[in-house]
Chain A
Amino acid sequence: MSGAPTSPYEGHVPVLRLGGVLLVTLQGDLYDSAAEQLRQDIGRTVSDSAVGGVVIDLSGVEIVDSFMGRVLSDVAAMTRLLAAQTVVCGMRPAVAITLVELGLTLPGLRTALNAEEAMNLLGATVSALPRRGRREST
């Protein structure tokens, strides 16, 4: 790919922890190495710091392919195993149409219109979950 990153840290996706929620903002293209890194980062953070939910913001993503769809469902399945919920938010219409046309309806994934709604969605369920992290923080 012509625009492929030269350094391994280029295209690195930051994973921010806000209380009991992880916020991941994807922007532009997601390359294989960055996606692998992201999966590991999320997995480690969720298991280490007792996170109840993961919000993946896609509002900066304009082009999507089957690989991206696969990454999203993988992350969702993985966090579910770690007893956390994943909410995808801010998906653009063109991206949604593309994913559906590709046959990736991502049935196990929860979705929200924007990051705020995603936080609300998690806030309701996360507080109800008897999780170590939540108890310590309150």
Chain B
Amino acid sequence: MPEQQTADDRTGPAQEVALFLRERREQIAQRWADAAVFRTVFTVSRDEAVEAGRAVVEALAAVAATGRVEDSEADGFTVVREQLARTVRSRTRAGASTGQISAETDALRRPVTELLLDELAEAPADHVGECTTALAVLMGTLRLVMLETSTVAGEELINRQRLELLEIATPVIKLWEGIVAVPLIGTLDSARSQVVMETLLDAVVEQHARLAILDITGVPTVDSLVAQHLMKTVAAARLMGAECIVSGIRPAIAQTIVHLGIDLSSVLTRASLADALAYALQQQGARIVPRAVAAAESR
């Protein structure tokens, strides 16, 4: 690979490309301002797009000057990484796919290559070849940096949403004096069941709850792992002195539990949340009677 051979050579093709990029900075920036990747993001004025393009050209020149054209971690890129990330974000928001962004970035290569060929019109053919190769590799690296930022942005979004989901999906509801309930919705994985357990136990302490209801109506599937998480939560609540009831077990889930051979005999279960609440109230010594019956009894 020519760019590796020239890394030590101060006047190799990479350095020549760097020099060319610095000299033709304005021209390149002007041409790039019309490219989709800049035009669609910096919509306020053309000057803004030119400014952004200039910053990217300078970064590329800095990278090329160090000879590390193939290195996406090169220091030169740190200056424009934030700007590239913003570009990628706004393109993604506009509905562009990763492939599309990649193609748009690739479209930046043609105008620069044309300018370079103009510049080197007099030079020998093999020298032109080396320089264009170095430039192509450099532009490829820019594309890689763009895609990396887009992946990182996507991961950040997913992580943030996962955290939000953890917080939203585990409310503890006080149903009655000393009775709390957690309606579980969605798949129970280790992280979520940990959050459920902690919030439930905190609520047990805070509300002096003697009974806690875990409603799994919203849990789509129960496998041995989910059952184990449930049993752990029940055991921890019991250790604190609260009785735990698991409710909302659908017939299909009950069948699955039996098929898997999971022993839930240590856990108190009820078919629906209403049944669980009725049991809990009964345990608390409360009784719910229709008004007519109560009136008849008091007479």
Q: Chain A: residues with CB nearer than 8 A to chain B? A: 88-93, 95-97, 99-101, 105-107, 109, 111-114, 117-118
Identify the closest chain B residue to A97 (Cβ). Answer: B236
Q: Is the CB of A99 within 8 A of B266?
A: no
0/1 per residue, B232-276, Cβ < 8 Å to A? 100111111110000000000000000000000010000000000
CB-CB under 8 A from B239, the residues of chain A are: 88, 91, 95-96, 99-100, 105-106, 109, 111
Going nearest first, the 7 A-B pairs with the smallest beta carbon separation are A93-B201, A105-B235, A112-B241, A111-B241, A113-B241, A96-B236, A96-B239
Q: Is the CB of B204 within 8 A of A113?
A: yes
Q: Is the CB of A117 within 8 A of B241?
A: yes
Q: Is the CB of A113 within 8 A of B240?
A: yes
CB-CB under 8 A from B241, the residues of chain A are: 88-91, 111-114, 117-118
B209 to chain A, nearest CB (A): 8
CB-CB under 8 A from B201, the residues of chain A are: 93, 96-97
Flag whether B173 is at the interface (Cβ < 8 A): no
Q: Is the CB of A93 within 8 A of B202?
A: yes
Identify the closest chain A residue to B200 (Cβ). Answer: A93
Flag whether B119 is at the interface (Cβ < 8 A): no
- Name the residue among B202, B208, B238, B242 with the largest chain A CB count within 10 angstroms: B238
CB-CB under 8 A from B235, the residues of chain A are: 100, 105
Knowing that A96-B201, A97-B201 touch, tell me 13 more A-B residue pairs with CB under 8 angstroms: A93-B236, A93-B240, A101-B232, A105-B235, A107-B266, A111-B241, A113-B204, A113-B205, A113-B209, A113-B210, A114-B208, A117-B241, A118-B241
CB-CB under 8 A from A90, the residues of chain B are: 241
Q: Is the CB of A111 within 8 A of B238?
A: yes
CA distance A89 to B239 in the complex (A): 8
CA distance A93 to B195 in the complex (A): 12
Q: List 13 A-B contacts (CB under 8 A).
A: A93-B198, A93-B201, A93-B205, A93-B240, A96-B237, A96-B239, A99-B239, A105-B238, A113-B205, A113-B241, A113-B242, A114-B208, A118-B241
Flag whether B280 is at the interface (Cβ < 8 A): no
CA distance A112 to B242 in the complex (A): 7
A96 touches which of B208, B209, B210, B240 (Cβ 8 Å): B240
If the complex has contacts A88-B239, A91-B241, A106-B239, are A97 and B210 also in contact, measured as CB distance less than 8 A? no
Flag whether B197 is at the interface (Cβ < 8 A): yes
CA distance A112 to B209 in the complex (A): 10
CA distance A92 to B232 in the complex (A): 15
B231 to chain A, nearest CB (A): 8
A72 to chain B, nearest CB (A): 10
B254 to chain A, nearest CB (A): 23
If the complex has contacts A107-B266, A117-B210, are A100 and B232 also in contact, measured as CB distance less than 8 A? yes
CB-CB under 8 A from B240, the residues of chain A are: 91-93, 96, 111, 113
Q: Is the CB of A113 within 8 A of B232?
A: no
CA distance A111 to B236 in the complex (A): 11
B27 to chain A, nearest CB (A): 65
CA distance A96 to B198 in the complex (A): 10
CB-contacts of B208-225 with A (<8 A) = 208-210
CB-CB under 8 A from B209, the residues of chain A are: 113
CB-CB under 8 A from B198, the residues of chain A are: 93, 97
CB-CB under 8 A from A101, the residues of chain B are: 232
A62 to chain B, nearest CB (A): 13
CB-CB under 8 A from A118, the residues of chain B are: 241
CB-CB under 8 A from A107, the residues of chain B are: 266
CB-CB under 8 A from A91, the residues of chain B are: 239-241
CB-CB under 8 A from A113, the residues of chain B are: 204-205, 208-210, 240-242
CA distance A106 to B240 in the complex (A): 11
CB-CB under 8 A from B205, the residues of chain A are: 92-93, 113
CA distance A109 to B232 in the complex (A): 16
